[in-house]
Structure 1
Amino acid sequence: MSDIKKVVLAYSGGLDTSVIAKWLQQTYGCEVVTFTADIGQGEEVEPARAKAEAMGIKEIYIEDLREEFVRDYVFPMFRANTIYEGEYLLGTSIARPLIAKRLVEIAEATGADAVSHGATGKGNDQVRFELGAYALTPGIKVIAPWREWDLNSRERLMAFAEEHDIPVDFKKAGKKSPYSMDANLLHISYEGGILEDPWAEAEEDMWRWTVSPEAAPNEAEYIDLTYVQGDIVAINGQSMSPAEVLAELNRLGGKHGVGRLDIVENRYVGMKSRGCYETPGGTIMLRAHRAIESITLDRESAHLKDSLMPKYAELIYNGYWWSPERLAMQKLIDATQECVNGDVRVKLYKGNVIVVGRRSGDSLFDASIATFDDDAGAYDQKDAEGFIKLNALRLRIAARAGRKMK
């Protein structure tokens, strides 16, 4: 890649990406453009500007993408009730396509030849960043320093930073963090350290967003969520933007110990990885969305969505957000949400999200049919006899033919 003249780097301002910025300048003799995204990680992003300037970087992009992140990525994903391997709410996975999109857009705007990221060669993020970049800009070049350099330990990174006067908070960086963490408005993740032993319980002081269920309030809290076409638009009657909705649900869920998760997942690159996650707002959203769908979606539409969801989740986890199959599935999912309107009431109590009510002007629930009281002829129970016999026909034929069903 000797023809690389300018690179756009996904830059957090931390040790790894600060070293990468200098390494790119030295290794490729190229100009570096930094891009720092605020997607709700809860830390100041503006200091990244001063660090980039100290390394002689002239073009610096710092962008608040919180609303776009929730509106165009998180909300569409939750319309599908998406979970990976039965548990993971895909907090890290869903942020990567947005970052990849802005990387290649900035590359085009600045005339850059390549993009670069700080993902390691062992993880999923390298796949997600690069699949997204190639899908949106087929001819883009990607530089992944962790697959090229020999700075494969924290000590070597620190030595490189000190040798090249890279502006790192050494007092803070000198103390090795026990975990590898990633945060955005949907979740915060923890890997490494004690968590590499799947038998070891996570330390209580690791968790940052949620109190433990034991320490949560002894009194339950009720909240009402208003849905329009599958998305929450108000909490307790107060209209909110997508990012405001998620931030408020994070606050409420965290207060009541909602959203902690400890799993061993299968990475796309082939290994198993143990991770802990805090997704308080997302946990509430998933439970409530299923509740509003339960009264507004036709049975077969709901079951079709459920059958597609594992594949949809797998596509997001593996980095195929921009693939034609994910886009096609999204159109089907969104088409089912036209009538997913109304309100859901949930009770938050010591780590639990309990649905206690749902209502909708588009409800398919008919109390006159479902009632155990006299339905005044709305449903003829005698009709069930023929229905059962027709559905039993294949079972009876098999039994008569001597097929054992044990």
Structure 2
Amino acid sequence: MEENEGKEKKQKKKMQPKRWLAGFLGIFLAELAGCMALVIWVDPFFQYHKPLAWFPYLVDNQVNQNPGLAKHMDYDGILIGSSMTASFNTDWFEELMGMKTQKLSYNGSYPKDLSNIMQLVFDAKGDQVKAVYMAVDQSTFSADPEETKFPVTDYLYDDNVFNDVPYLLNKDVLLDYILRPLADRKDASDWAELYKPWWTDEYYNKANVLMYYEAAEEKQEEEALAADYFKDAVEENLQKNILPYIEAHPETEFYIFYPPYSILFWNDVTREKELEAVIGRLEYMTERLLNYENVHVFNFLGKEDIICNLNNYADYMHYHKNVCRYITECFTTGENELHPENYGQAFDEIRTLAMSYNYPAIWDDWYDTTPRYGEE
């Protein structure tokens, strides 16, 4: 009997570590399952469903959150492009055009970034997309057509739920996009102003712009770039990243606009002897786009009352929300729209302005009090 009891005790001692390990694994797996369930329920990157009405979502990660917004939000139109679209309020599109619009900006976006998000949008919504509002930074159309601004998180851009583990078991997702917004609801994003810049009104002034602006190095001995210097690169980017969507969706209206960079942009272009090449790039791109009936091209690059007043800017390129409002209004009025018969003159006027502007005089009055656009 004593011998049997001794054997039983030994067996129990051997079993204890196994039971402890099994218990630990059970708790660990239950915690993992709980974390995954929480991420799926809240879904801060919108991979599985629309936002919960009560949750204070923080939307500040364009690369990782735009795919889910494209797949699951309700919209008739989209606003895409670089940070040139960041200060737009999408409520304006509904107010002025009755178009429920989703902002899907990518700061510093290349044409491939525009293509990636349009692919998701049209795959998810198809003919429901009535309008695409696209800011075109014409300089990026000289880039490699496969180049993106940031690495694409493939598992968020596809429809394969089995590769979503890096999202479902992600410490940053759990802490920064679920627990932190719950702890401090004031960080919740305004759905109409997603990706809004941090600049407040006091940053939009000439003195601030000039403080941080460094003029491009002046090229004196080099030859100026030819007018067709960028033509092949523009054509390749259009063919691979933009025109396929325009051609595949003739029922969708594409409103493409050239943002109003400040006059300092043209100072850099002239100093670098690229004026004819930049104008040539714009002319060629416009000519190609205007071949399509569902494309409307708007040009704000030569809008002097905007670009020559540096109080409209926070730096030499990023403009105040009042300018964004004006651009939105132009989509309804047709002001600044380019047509086959007027785009040549429009770019001639920009060429003349860029060549004749008195750039040194910009520095004569750092504290210019000219009202910002829309505040006269």
Structure 1 or 2: more helix by fraction: 2
Structure 1 or 2: more strand by fraction: 1
What TM-score do the two structures reach when normalised by structure 2? 0.26
What TM-score do the two structures reach when normalised by structure 1? 0.25
Which structure is larger by alpha-carbon Rg, 1 or 2?
Answer: 2
